[in-house]
Amino acid sequence: MLNGKRILLIVGGGIAAYKVLDLIRRIGRAGGHVTPVLTRAGSEFVTPLSLSALAGEKVYTDLWDLTDEAEMGHIQLSRVADLVVVAPATADLMAKMAQGHADDLASTLLLATDTPVMIAPAMNVRMWEHAATQRNLVTLKADGIAVVGPDVGDMACGEHGPGRMAEPEAILDSITARLSHGPMKGKHILITSGPTHEPIDPVRYIANRSSGAQGTAIARAAVAAGARVTFVTGPADVAPPEGCTVVRVETATQMRDAALAALPADVAIFAAAVADWRVTSASDRKMKKQDGALPSLELAENPDILAAVAGRTMDRPPLVVGFAAETDDVVENARAKRIRKGCDWIVANDVSPVTGIMGGSENAVLLITAEGEETWERMGKDAVAVRLIERIATALA
Ligand code: C5P
C-alpha cells in the first residue's frame, strides 16, 4: 500500500504510454498520489486531459510555463515526490538521463531531483539492444536508478524480443517495494489463494466455497509490510490486492505450475482451497442428458502444491506455511497435516457450517509450529492476516 506516497510520473513518447493510464489508476487505488509530467513526444501518444483526469492533478508539460514556475518551480516539483517514475522511458530519455541533459521539463526535473528515480524502459528491440542504450543502462544503474522491465514479447512495431514496457501491475509492484520500509522489505512471498475449478466439460466444473478472502487479506498485509508478493489465485470472489504480482489460474495443475515458477521465495503461504480431485478426462464438448442414463465421472487426485513446494531441495522457501480447514478433530488433524506435508507452520481452523468461517469475514485460528500451538481469538480475516505476517516477520528477523 502506498499510503499517501507521492509519485512524480514522467510520461515519455512511446506507444506504451497508453499503459500509463492504467498505472495511474492502480497507484491511486493503492493509496498513492500521482503528479504527471508529459514530454512533448509523450503528448503524441496520450493527452494531458486523460492524465489529469485519472491523476486528479494538473499535468506539467513545459519548462517555460511561467504560471507553473510561479506556482511551483521545476526544482521544487522535482523534489516534492517520494519517487520519480519514468514510464515509458524511451531510448532518447535514457540517453538524456545518462548524459545529464536538461533541455526540456522532464530532463530538467530528472537532473534537478534528489529523489530516488525508477525507469520502465520501452522501445523497439533493436534500439534496446543497441550498444548505446546498453551503455546508458549501465550508467543509469550505476547512478542508482532502479529499472523495471522491459519485458520480452511482441511489439507494436511487429518485431519480437525485449523492449515491451513492464505491465502496470509489475511497475506498481516495484514502486510499492521501493517505497516500503516495512519489516518484510526485500522479502519475496508466494501466496496461493481462492478455490480451483476443475472442468467436467466446457461449461461445468468441480469447485468449492472458498471466497479467497483470507488469502487476499494475507497478500494485502504482506504488501503493506513491504514484501514483494506473488499472488497465485484461482477464480475467487474478491479482487486481488494492488501492489502484488497476480497470477490467475483455474485448475490445481495450473496453480502448481505457477507456484513452482514463482520460486525462489523467502516464504510460501498456501491459503488456496485446492480441489482434491479433477475429472480424469474432461469432455471437450458439453455433456448431454441421455434418456435417464447417468454419466459417471472418473476422478484423479490433484497434485499437492504445498507438499510439492515443501519437498523441494534446491529452492525450498525457508518458511512454508499451510492451512488446514477442518470440520472435526481440528488439532489432531492439523498436527498430522504439518508433518505429512512437510511444512513448517499450519494455520488451522474449524470450517464446520456453524462457525460461518468458510465464505465469512471472520476466522478463529490455531497456529501450529514445531515448537507448539497458539490459539488466536476469533477476529476478522484482515486481522488474522496482519497477525500472521507480523509473526512471519518476527520469525524471519
Ligand atoms: O490436504 P488439505 O487440502 O487439507 O491441505 C490444506 C493445505 O494444503 C492448504 O494449505 C492448501 O492450500 C494446501 N493444498 C495444496 N494443494 C492441494 C491440496 C491442498 O497446496 N492439492
Number of residues that make up the chain: 397
Which residues touch 314 (CB under 8 Å, ≥6 apart)? none
Comparing C-alpha atoms, which of 135, 26, 18, 6 is closest to residue 88? Answer: 18
Closest residue to atom 13 of ligand 1, CA basis = 306
Q: Going residue by residue through the chain (397 aa), what tens digit of pLDDT does each one get?
A: 788 899 999 999 999 999 999 999 999 999 999 999 999 999 999 999 999 999 999 999 986 665 665 656 777 888 889 999 999 999 999 999 999 999 999 999 999 998 889 999 999 999 999 999 999 999 998 788 888 989 888 877 788 888 999 999 889 988 988 887 789 988 999 999 999 999 999 999 999 988 999 999 999 999 888 888 899 999 999 988 766 788 999 999 999 999 999 999 999 999 999 999 999 999 999 999 888 889 899 999 999 999 999 999 999 999 999 999 888 898 999 999 999 999 999 999 888 888 877 767 888 899 999 999 999 999 998 899 999 999 999 999 8
The rounded Å distance from CA 331 to ligand 1 centre is 16
pLDDT, position 141: 86
Residue 32 contacts residue 57 (beta carbons within 8 Å): no
Task: Give the CA count within 13 Å in the CB-facing half-sphere of 346.
Answer: 26
Cα 95 to Cα 136: distance, rounded to the nearest angstrom: 6
CA 23 to chain centre: 13
What's the pLDDT at 364?
Answer: 86
- Smallest Cα–Cα separation from 380: which of 363, 360, 365, 396? 363
Mutation probe of ligand 1 site: the residue of 210, 276, 305, 306 with most atoms within 8 A of C-beta: 306
Cell numbers for 26, please give them.
Answer: 492502480
Q: How far is the CA of 375 from the centre of ligand 1 (A)?
A: 21
- Tell me the domains of the chain and their CATH numbers: 6-179 (3.40.50.1950), 188-396 (3.40.50.10300)
Centroid of ligand 1 to alpha carbon of 343 (angstroms) = 11
Catalytic residues: 157
According to the model, what pLDDT value does residue 31 have?
Answer: 93
d(CA 102, CA 185): 34
User: Which amino acid, 134?
Assistant: Q
Protein residue closest via CA to atom 21 of ligand 1: 304
How high is the pLDDT of residue 279? 97
Which candidate, 327, 379, 325, places its Cα nearest to that of 353?
327
Question: Which atom of ligand 1 sits closest to the CA of residue 341?
Answer: 8
Distance 305 CA to ligand 1 centre (A): 7
What pLDDT sits at residue 271?
97
**Cβ(218) – ligand 1 distance below 6 Å:** no
Is the distance from CB of 230 to CB of 247 less than 8 angstroms? yes
Output the pLDDT for position 166.
92
Residues whose CB is less than 8 angstroms from the CB of residue 246 and which lie 6 or more positions away in sequence, other chains included: 169, 231, 233, 240
CA–CA distance, 19 with 359 (Å, rounded to integer): 34
- Residue 219's nearest CA partner among 206, 207, 232 is 232
146 near 171, Cβ under 8 Å?
A: no
347 in Cβ contact with 365 (< 8 Å): yes
How open is the CA angle 384-387-392, to the nearest 5 degrees?
Answer: 125
CA distance linking residue 208 with residue 233, whole number of Å: 14
Alpha-carbon span 87 to 280, nearest angstrom: 46
359-362 own/partner pairs: CB under 8 Å, 24+ apart = 359/209, 359/210, 359/211, 359/213, 361/213
CA distance 118 to 9: 10
Residue 121 has a pLDDT of 97
Whether the CB of 60 sits within 6 Å of ligand 1: no
From the alpha carbon of 259, which atom of ligand 1 is closest? Answer: 20
Cβ(171) – ligand 1 distance below 6 Å: no
Pull the grid cell for residue 209: 466455497
- Whether 358 is in the pocket of ligand 1, judged by its Cβ within 6 Å, is no
Q: Is the CB of 210 under 6 A from ligand 1?
A: no
All three cell numbers of 308: 510439492
Rg (CA), the chain: 24
Ligand 1 mean position to 25 CA, how many Å?
A: 35
Q: Choose one of 305, 338, 367, 388 to mutate for the ligand 1 pocket test, by most ligand atoms within 8 angstroms of C-beta.
A: 305
Distance CA 177, CA 183 (A): 11
Report the pLDDT value the prediction gives residue 310, as an integer from 0 to 100: 98
Report the pLDDT value the prediction gives residue 70, as an integer from 0 to 100: 60
d(CA 164, CA 150): 5
Q: Are 152 and 161 in contact (CB under 8 A)?
A: yes
Measured CA to CA, the distance from residue 311 to residue 316 in angstroms comes to 7
Classified as helix, coil or strand, 387 is helix
